[in-house]
Amino acid sequence: MLRRNRRLRTNDSIRSLVRENQLTPNDFQAPLFIVEGKGVKQEIASMPGYFRYSLDLLKKEVQELWSLGIKSVLLFVKVEENLKDNKGTEAINPDGLMQRAVKTVKDILPEMIVMTDVAMDPYSEFGHDGIIEKGQVLNDPSVEVLAKMALSHAVAGADFVAPSDMMDGRILAMRNILEENGYTNTGIMSYSAKYASAFYGPFRDALDSAPVDAKDIPKDKKTYQMDPSNRDEAIKETLMDIEEGADIVMVKPGLCYLDIVRDIKNNVNVPISVYQVSGEYAMIKAASERGWLDHDAVVMEQLTAIKRAGADFIATYFAKHAAQVIQK
């Protein structure tokens, strides 16, 4: 035998030396759920160990993340029921929870990159990412609201806006409104290849944002989010978002879509983020609680696999924990 591959696996030292991908805290972005109130830290039932924070407690959380080397957060808000409507009115309130959350984080940690979720579902009485009329999620009127929402996040101080709605033409509308108002340095991270996935359930619990079960309300998001069967379409969506002005593109969810991550990596020259979503978090928690999987080993293996597939960074509910595991 002239070539023995096992030589390069003899011990940890040689394995470390030839390792192709290594996770660091720079690879992680932490999604954060925010609620109104004071001193509120609520665990999400379907996401054990993950919490919603009120603004006062959010400060401590982001400081902890920063001290672990995590340099970016992705903000989501749980909107009070009485503020929801079919037009996203509260979404563009300059003093809304999201706008205050952005200021809170930038005030205490100006270097923390703050990205904001731009989508109507947390603000929608029907739990959809757009305005609904006659059983349809309207595209262009929704894009108008989304663009205004993006601008209001930029005014509040967001570094990047992150549209997660999958309406057509929203990136161009956002880039235009940001440019017209002088926010030339505010970036756009587009959820460009976002699939109509069954893995978002726990997130919808966290924000109480699931589509409502009612007459003339679509039961799912399949008319705007992508069909999990499609691969070429992900490249089409992503290239269009880049043309329209996206600085960073995204594939979501993570693990089931790593072929898409690699396709996109091979086709574009902008950074790619991957969102390891709530259902992926919940699966690992549930199985490891039962003693069926080794929690930390599985977390690190999945995150490594996402990076190996081509992610430049990963939005993950394990951000803090994985950074702690790396530090050990």
Query: Contact region for ligand PBG (CB under 6 A) — 49-57, 113-121, 228-236, 302-310?
Result: 113-121
Kindly tell me which of 186 and 197 has the beta carbon lying closer to ligand PBG: 197
Q: CB neighbours of 218 closer than 8 A, spacing ≥ 6?
A: 128, 132, 135, 136, 137, 211
Q: Which residues pair with 45 in a beta bridge?
A: none
Q: Which residue has the tokens 């991550």?
A: 261
Identified binder of ligand PBG from the candidate list 61, 90, 129, 159, rule CB under 6 A: 129
Find the binding residues for ligand PBG in span 261-320 (CB under 6 A).
Answer: 277-278
Among the listed residues 78, 221, 252, 285, the single catalytic one is 252
85: alpha, beta or left, given left = phi > 0 and alpha = psi -120 to 50? beta
Instruction: Report the alpha-carbon distance of residue 235 to residue 260 in Å, rounded.
Output: 8
Query: Contact region for ligand PBG (CB under 6 A) — 117-125, 145-153, 237-245, 286-294?
Result: 117-125
Identified binder of ligand PBG from the candidate list 61, 90, 121, 263, rule CB under 6 A: 121
23 CB neighbour count, 10 Å cutoff: 17
263 and 235 Cβ atoms separated by less than 8 Å: yes
* Catalytic (active site) residue 194: yes
CB of 211: closest distance to ligand PBG in angstroms?
A: 8
179 CB neighbour count, 10 Å cutoff: 12
Cis peptide before 122 (omega within 30 of 0): no
Kindly tell me which of 204 and 262 has the beta carbon lying closer to ligand PBG: 204
CB of 200: closest distance to ligand PBG in angstroms?
A: 4
Kindly tell me which of 55 and 274 has the beta carbon lying closer to ligand PBG: 274
For 17, 80, 96, the CA distances from 42, given in Å and listed in that order, are 43, 15, 20
The 167-196 site mask, x for binding ligand PBG (CB under 6 A), equals: ------------------------------
Kindly tell me which of 63 and 230 has the beta carbon lying closer to ligand PBG: 230
Exposure string of 228-260, with b = 16+ CB inside 10 Å and e = fewer, is beeeeebbebbbbbbebbbbbbbbbbbbebbeb
CB of 41: closest distance to ligand PBG in angstroms?
A: 19
CB of 17: closest distance to ligand PBG in angstroms?
A: 36
164 near ligand PBG, rule: CB under 6 A:
yes
Kindly tell me which of 63 and 139 has the beta carbon lying closer to ligand PBG: 139
Query: Contact region for ligand PBG (CB under 6 A) — 152-160, 198-206, 237-245, 292-300?
Result: 198-206
CB of 188: closest distance to ligand PBG in angstroms?
A: 15
122 and 207 Cβ atoms separated by less than 8 Å: yes
Among the listed residues 78, 106, 194, 285, the single catalytic one is 194
For 169, 243, 292, the CA distances from 248, given in Å and listed in that order, are 16, 12, 36
Identified binder of ligand PBG from the candidate list 203, 257, 313, 318, rule CB under 6 A: 203
Instruction: Report the alpha-carbon distance of residue 221 to residue 216 in Å, rounded.
Output: 14
Instruction: Report the alpha-carbon distance of residue 116 to residue 63 in Å, rounded.
Output: 18
Identified binder of ligand PBG from the candidate list 41, 59, 148, 204, rule CB under 6 A: 204
CB of 274: closest distance to ligand PBG in angstroms?
A: 12
CB of 80: closest distance to ligand PBG in angstroms?
A: 18
Kindly tell me which of 115 and 264 has the beta carbon lying closer to ligand PBG: 115
Instruction: Report the alpha-carbon distance of residue 89 to residue 26 in Å, rounded.
Output: 36
Give, for 136, the enclosing helix (H) or strand (E): strand 136-137
Active site members = 194, 252
Q: Provide the binding-site residues for ligand PBG, judged by CB under 6 A.
A: 117, 119, 121, 129, 164-165, 200, 203-204, 221, 277-278
